[in-house]
Structure 1
């Protein structure tokens, strides 16, 4: 096995273990905190909200993305991923004994850490890929990463057996999740060790020089130049869509299932089943749309995106007809648009969980593919723009998630899906993209202090 492929498998495994705890926590956080509000912790009642916490997290994620490429440049990708991953461990740990002030503080920290973690991930994936392997590597990483949805939610499904998630259930659940997160950090330490030994052999890093805090300026200039290109402006729409969609199916949809009284007293554990099926769809999609098909031409990539569009439209329609309009905000027994029997409703709900995972993987693998191949000279800035827009829209979606009805949330996400798909098609079939990128970076280099920029370029790669 070549070094690059081994590194991608190790990268995907580290993310898989770390996010086994975090993704399951995110899906059940609102339901867990509704149970915590019935308790008294250290003499004060808990007032936190899973929706507001997620909004804060993604807002901090968006802001930190401005500085993330320079931070990754200074720390190098391996160390940056470890430090970013540490904040995820703290977030999961906070659910053992949640307090309002500490819960929101750790939400800020994980938002900062997430920007560093994901920017570093994009750079590390690109460093270990080339034109012929990027589709394969993106698919492998995506499939391994999404195993986290499967593993974490299996445990949630087994552990949650009551209508309300009580203290006796919550504490053992999050002790296990905290241990799992710690194991993920150990894998990131292994990535640091491999990066150190490979750097000594001069296989990945071209120079030992690191960036400095002053490199934020050239990084921002690169980002501004990218944003002046037609194709990056078009990509902002699918970037935004991924923020709205992930907020809905990873946060809001699970809460709707847990709130729907029709599903019975054990409905909270069904959130875990939803997460498992999303994970199955994501894993299968990562394999099909990345590793097996290995789309390389614009037409092949466009086909993958179109399949994702159709699958996700099916999912959003099923949500519209199958759940009451107030299910995202409160326990409800109201009738949905079509009042199916309990069994039929659950079949539709959980079939849709698999479908949305499959559709989401097709779009995300192609986005990573395009960013890694067409923006190779400025990978960190391109991935930072992606995560900036995605996280900003996720923050907006979480802020309104608990206050507006489902049909209006669906309207927003479907509009962005439709126009985002058209924009993605336009980028894929524009053969001048690479030339435009080269010109944009060239202008940036001319406008930036040459030594500082070369420092940045060498260390980030």
Structure 2
């Protein structure tokens, strides 16, 4: 096993920890935003806020690669993280309005101002998210090697999505607690995480394609490129033949985010038949069930990473299809039975596992299957964001059990077909260096090993017969 494979392990870990802390803040607030704002008297403002984040993220993705080339890893991630913090802290305004009723005549506590500040901060967060994720994709890709690309992306995803475990536990605890402290605490976490990106170091070039001086020249050339040329390159990659085959999977990721963000909690809500439970009690139980979603996110990425590294990227598609099938069956059964039990936790676990597996598979393909590893991540952000936005609008019309059942069946069929198209993607030939040949031998299928043993034994027998003749 080549030591080059892990030269950037520490750098990838540092980046992953930063994202873990940052998204403890974002994911927790995302999970609670709609319910909290509704409880504070702002009805659908939480949904509008999240929709704005993803809509702006989609449009901004067209220019995110150009911004990254201008600013570099560190500044881009710091700005993106700070935009996240601004969005989290904007929720303090509706909290303050409820906490200080005698000050409601002030402009900052008026409904109009609060709607403006929350939606404007969502706009800012959408811009920040676009450049943040483009920078992240390129950074982890540059930390990775061809032999360990699955490991690095799954390693990051495990760190990143463990925020769902911590976030949902925190969310379950803070319902009914002091919301002012909650949002200040989460905002502070986002600020600290953003500042930590300033200390990221440039990954060591371990791919062997460019030496350090050549890499510097390439970066300088990229920095000199015109801004709109970078936008044009993003569009060119998005409309290329290879990317067009891959776009359905990118769009499904957005559909998946929309489903588990907006549909799983209502499905769990329908499972409660205890009339003594308050709305907050139900929300607590729903968030506890979503902890299993976080564990699914953590394990799904690791599993698909092993398949990518030990088998190949193409066969990882089949693994995703298997998980999607099981997930669909369990979700349909859960909707029909309407019981809050072990099946509820399996359902949320499978949605997390599927989301992590497909995302990890997607991110490593974007980093290794295309000539450039910047613009493909911009395309990913764009397509995913529009998937979230469009299906969040659709899901506002899904109000009862029958509608959820039909919608879930359609979604699962769509997931199978959209992720299945990736099997026909024109994958690059995986070129292994001589250093990695022992690992290749280790990872061969059983029938390949038997063939080699047979040939080896046959050769040995022929050699012995030749010696006897001599």
Same fold (TM over 0.5): yes
Cα deviations across residues 152-176 of structure 1 (Å, max 9, x unaligned)? 111112222xxxx5xx532222222
Q: Tell me which residue corresponds to 1:145.
A: 160
Q: Tell me whether 1:178 sits opposite 2:187 in the alignment.
A: yes
Residue matched to 2:422: 424
Residues 290-326 of structure 1, C-alpha deviations (whole Å, 9 max, x = no match): 15873452454233323332233234424542xxxxx
Shift of 1:51: 1.7
Answer yes or no: is the 8 Å Cα contact 1:304–1:366 preserved in 2. Answer: no
Pairing 1:365-444 to 2, within 5 Å after superposition: 365-375=360-370, 377-405=371-399, 406-407=404-405, 409-427=407-425, 430-431=426-427
- For the structure 1 residues 299 and 27, does the alpha-carbon distance in structure 2 shift closer, same or farther, using more than 3 Å as the test? same
Paired positions, count: 393
Residue 6 of structure 1 is matched in structure 2 by 10
One of 263, 267, 272 as aligned partner of 1:252:
263
Show the counterpart of 2:454.
none
Would you say the 8 A contact 2:143–2:203 is kept in 1?
Answer: no
1:220-243 deviation per Cα after TM superposition (whole angstroms, max 9, x unaligned): 333333234333112111111110
Q: Aligned pair in 2 of structure 1 residues 231, 433: CA closer, same or farther (>3 Å)?
A: farther
- In structure 1, how many angstroms separate the alpha carbons of the residues matched to 2:178 and 2:221? 47
TM-score (norm 2): 0.76
**Contact 2:294 2:352 (C-alpha < 8 Å) held by counterparts:** yes
Distance 1:361 1:10 in 2: 20
Distance in 2 (CA, whole Å) between partners of 1:3 and 1:432 is: 24
Measured against aligned partners, the alpha-carbon deviations of 1:341-364 in whole angstroms (never above 9, x if no partner) come to xxx433322221111111221211
Does structure 1 retain, via aligned residues, the 8 Å contact 2:65–2:230? yes
1:359 pairs with one of 338, 341, 354: 354
- In the TM superposition, residue 204 of structure 1 has moved relative to its aligned partner by 10
Distance 1:292 1:431 in 2: 15
Q: Residue 30 and residue 318 in structure 1: after superposition, are their counterparts in 2 closer, same or farther (change >3 A)?
A: farther
| Gaps in structure 1 of 5+ consecutive residues | 38-45, 322-337, 435-461
Structure 2 CA distance for aligned equivalents of residues 357 and 170 of structure 1: 27
- For 1:204 and 1:301, the matched residues in 2 are separated by 34
Q: Distance in 1 between matches of 2:131 and 2:313?
A: 30
Deviation at 1:414, TM superposition (A): 2.3
Compared with structure 1, are the counterparts of its residues 215 and 349 closer, same or farther at alpha carbon in structure 2 (3 Å cutoff)?
Answer: farther
CA contact (8 A) 1:311 1:359 kept: no
Q: Assess if the C-alpha contact under 8 Å between 1:51 and 1:402 holds in 2.
A: no
Q: Pick one of 202, 216, 222 that aligns with 1:206.
A: 216
Q: 1:144 to 1:100 in 2, by over 3 A?
A: same
Structure 1 residues 374, 197: CA separation in 2 closer, same or farther (over 3 Å shift)? closer
Stretches of structure 2 lacking an aligned partner (at least 5 in a row): 95-113, 206-210, 431-470
- Given candidates 108, 112, 115, the residue that maps to 1:100 is 115
What's 1:242 paired with?
Answer: 253
SS in 1 for 2:263: helix
CA distance in 2, matches of 1:259, 1:431: 44
TM-score by length of 1: 0.78
- Quick check: 1:15 aligned with 2:24? no
State the 1:281 CA deviation: 0.7
**1:252 offset after TM fit, Å?**
3.2
1:255/1:51 CA distance change after superposition, 3 Å: farther
Check conservation: 1:21, 1:92, Cα contact below 8 A. Answer: yes
Q: Which moved more, 1:395-404 or 1:278-287?
A: 395-404
In structure 2, the residue matched to 1:71 is: 67
Partner of 1:67, secondary structure, is helix
Q: For residues 377-400 of structure 1, what are the alpha-carbon distances to aligned partners after superposition, in whole Å with 9 as ceiling and x for unaligned?
A: 221111111110100110111223
Post-superposition Cα deviations, 1:243-279, rounded to whole Å, max 9, x if no partner, equal 0111111343235545765362211112321331111
Q: 251, 270, 273: which one pairs with 2:285?
A: 270
Maintained 8 Å contact 2:11/2:203: no
Deviates more, 1:359-368 or 1:63-72: 359-368
Query: Does structure 2 retain, via aligned residues, the 8 Å contact 1:27–1:275?
Result: no
- Aligned pair 1:34/2:38, yes or no? yes
In 2, Cα distance between the equivalents of 1:135 and 1:57? 29
Distance (whole Å) between structure 1 residues aligned to residue 310 and residue 68 of structure 2: 29
Q: Matched residues in 2 for 1:144 and 1:209: separation?
A: 32
In the alignment, structure 1 residue 123 sits paired with structure 2 residue 127: no
Equivalent in 167, 172, 181 of residue 157 of structure 1 = 172
Offset of residue 372 of structure 1: 1.3
80, 85, 105: which one aligns with 2:81: 85
Distance 2:212 2:319 in 1: 36
2:466 corresponds in structure 1 to: none
Q: Choose which of 45, 48, 55 in structure 2 pairs with 1:52.
A: 48
Q: Answer whether contact 1:65 1:116 (CA < 8 A) is retained.
A: yes
Equivalent pair of 1:33/1:48 in contact (CA under 8 Å): yes
* Contact 2:56–2:123 (8 Å) recurs in 1: yes
